[in-house]
Amino acid sequence: MSNSKKLKTSAAGMDKFRNQFLLIYFLLIRSTSSDTINASARITDGETLVSSNGVFELGFFNLNNSTNRYVGIWYSQISVPTYVWVANRESPLTDRFGVLTVTAPGVLAILNRTNGTVWSSSLTTPAPNPIAQLLDSGNLIVKDADDDRFTWQSFDYPCDTLLSGIRLGWNYVTSVETYISSWKSDDDPAKGEYSSHVDPTGYPQMLLKKGDIIQYRIGPWNGLYWSGAPDTSNDPTYFLSLQIFPNEVRYTEGIIGDSVLSMSRLNPNGEGVRSTWNNRTNSWASYTNLPVDNCDNYARCGPHGSCNAGTSPSCGCLERFVPRDPESWGRTDWSDGCVRRISLSCNGDKFLKYSAIKLPDTRNTTYNVERRSLAECQVDCARDCSCVAYTQLNISGDGSGCLFYHGDLIDIRAMASSGQDLYIRMAASEPGDVAGTSRNGGNRGRTRTIVIASTTSLVVVVFVCLIFFYVYGRRRKNDPIVGLFSATHVKEADLPFFSLPTVMKATDNFSNKNKLGEGGFGPVYRGVLEDGQEIAVKRLSKTSRQGVNELRNEVMLIAKLQHRNLVRTLGFCAQGEEYMLIYEYMPNHSLDLTLFDKEKSRLLDWQKRFDIINGIAKGLLYLHQDSRLRIIHRDLKASNILLDADMIPKISDFGLARSFGGNQTEAQTRRVVGTYGYMSPEYAIDGLFSVKSDVFSFGVLVLELVSGHRNRGFILNDHNLNLLGHAWSLYKEDNLRKLVDPCLDEAFDLGQVERAIHVGLLCVQNSPDDRPNMSSVVFMLGNEVALPQAKQPGFFTERDISIDHSSNSSNPTASHNQLTITWTQGR
């Protein structure tokens, strides 16, 4: 016999011996171990539970050289220690005297040597005769011995590992999210920096986060698999499933059958790995790793950019788009992304097809699950000017449905396989019926040509502007509005230009009959363009000082904002001594003019008010989380909420807004600008502002919408509390109905009203840390979930009612802690 045959025979013999040994070992284990404990039994360190099929084992363990002891579940039949769940991941035992027990009424607990509780499970439904059982799926459950229903299960609280049967997602009834989070390190199972979530904002997708920052994204779900992930729909051994119910969104995946061990794990470095056990090599075989390459990095190429890992550079603009900042693009700084080379006009726009791409981020989308053709999706999208793209919702063949995008299209990449089609809104003058189908949805040669052409054009524009401003500057050297719209501002804003004669004709030479109001920046006029479109014109006053800064701030921010609950800016005018911004006209004007008018307020029934609350919340969520920059409005109030013809709210006036980039979440200023009654305590007193400052202002708005009263100047005969204090008192008395505006005549959903007030009080809590973020606010308003107890609001005050609180002086000032506070009134 040859040596090779001897070696093969020897290896086969070893495999046979090992398998026989493992079989005998597991038979012995199963003869001495159980899969269940009851209230009269306990598991001590050194003892284990083994599932009935012998695949999973539960007990105490430690990692490498650490002396910390944990209770967890691992694969029992393989030689490589593989832990799939850890109970006390945040609170390890320090010795081997721990005990696992289940006690009436159904709580699983880990006790230390002094019988102190180190970890315990939650209790939902009491179990008079509780038992804990390790199932063949790897799920540890607690139930009553006489009832098959679970009262608790480890699958609801996964760690870093996704097993078949674990449902990731949200239960809106219990307000519980199931997600996986990495270990801190290979030696420490405590929660690490990374977590993976099914995000239900917009249409569901998978997000991998480091802290609160998105690292990479898979999705959206297309009926068969996640867009941007490998297509496993033709693999008969593997399943993926996303189910969307009114009260729940849940995702599961895994191997079909139990002949192969499989798992998906989120490693401490943020890498997601899907693996199966290979008996031949006696090791885990990875067959999917995310991120795959740099193109998986979230928003690598910025808005309307597309990433292609097979090209250099990897980032390019989608066809018919050009770099927003050609200079930065040339330095391989793609964060600003791309813009349409021809701006949209809404009426007459068309849709072009982009193929073989990973669909963009869906957090700012809406969808229709009804069976609809692509042609019907296009009609629906065309009717909504905020809809910038659409695609087929479900490609499984069970009914299409429509997915509609609003705002910037972010995180697109070319897909060699399993890519999808996206139909993007383009100007009617753009040539072609179908966009090019290059793998990255773009054309790099064309992009380079456009960059050169754009750069050349920019040089000419800047040169002309320099000559203009030099001559003009000599004539009006000390005029504060000179240079407001510099070439840089115009380029960054990407706003259409309106000539002065056009604006003057539209407003009838700025006639007083067309004047809508006036603020610190100057007057606002209604106008009608030659094509019949109504506009609102914000005209900078020549005597305005702060208005110059505010208008410049709007120009710099406005192009970066696009949402159905934000006022849309149509363009600008800068000619001679005139500087103006042109907006869409809102026929129902500002919220305060209707809400605080005794007669007009009757037009706002409860459903309209609740819709306005939800609309403002979604607009604010977009500013804080979904826009390219994190934007703090800083002057959210009723007079800055405009209402369109359908009473849809639009947040307006970004003159005081500030943008945050990167991980910045808070800033401080020595000049506090805002409106009395809406400003948060930390901002008014210490100049600290953050997203939580806007949350406070939103909470005030909610209470005003429910009550019909302004927070500023609120007075009742039976006490001297402000509106926040009054609402807080009624909340403690469980008498929230008394806060409701009497003009609603009891025609409202009391549960919905109480939920709105409760959320409003959560938003105006004194400490910023206690206030929810806007994503939580939107969720709480839209779902019947248990709400946390509210704490005392900020500015919970009693006042001297002899003071005239209704005074409307335009710019009263005060000094707090050497901060100059400028109170600005409704614009």
With beta carbons less than 8 A apart as the criterion, state whether 191 and 184 touch: yes
Strands in 475-520 per DSSP E:
515-518
| Residue 796: strand, helix, or coil | coil
SS (H, E, C) 367-428: EECCCCCHHHHHHHHHHCCCEEEEEECCCCCCCCCEEEEECCCCCEEECCCCCEEEEEEECC
| Pairwise CA distance, residues 351 & 765, whole Å | 46
Helix, strand, coil share (%) of the chain residues, nearest 5? 25, 30, 45
Longest dimension (CA), the chain: 111
Please tell me the number of Cα atoms within 13 Å of 313 on its side-chain side: 15
Beta bridge partners of 537: 525, 582
With beta carbons less than 8 A apart as the criterion, state whether 146 and 162 touch: no
| Residue 159: strand, helix, or coil | coil
Residue 626 is a catalytic residue: no
- State phi, psi for 107 to the nearest 5 degrees: -110, 130
Structure tokens at 67: 């002396």
Structure tokens at 356: 């073989």
Cis bond upstream, residue 105 (ω within 30)? yes
585 CB-near residues (< 8 Å, 6+ apart): 526, 527, 534, 535, 536
Tally of residues, the chain: 827
Structure tokens at 555: 């120009």
Count of other CB atoms within 10 angstroms of residue 281: 8
With beta carbons less than 8 A apart as the criterion, state whether 96 and 127 touch: no
With beta carbons less than 8 A apart as the criterion, state whether 180 and 197 touch: no
| Residue 699: strand, helix, or coil | helix
| Residue 194: strand, helix, or coil | strand
Q: Catalytic pick from 635, 653, 694, 741? A: 635
- CA 335: distance to chain centroid? 19
* Phi-psi domain of 509 (left: phi exceeds 0; alpha: psi -120 through 50; beta: other): left
- CA 644: distance to chain centroid? 25
Distances (CA, A) of 413 to 206, 418, 779: 16, 12, 30
| Pairwise CA distance, residues 805 & 795, whole Å | 15
Count of other CB atoms within 10 angstroms of residue 174: 13
With beta carbons less than 8 A apart as the criterion, state whether 499 and 509 touch: no
133 CB-near residues (< 8 Å, 6+ apart): 35, 36, 49, 140, 141, 143
Q: What is the DSSP letter of 358?
A: P
By annotation, the residues acting in catalysis are 635
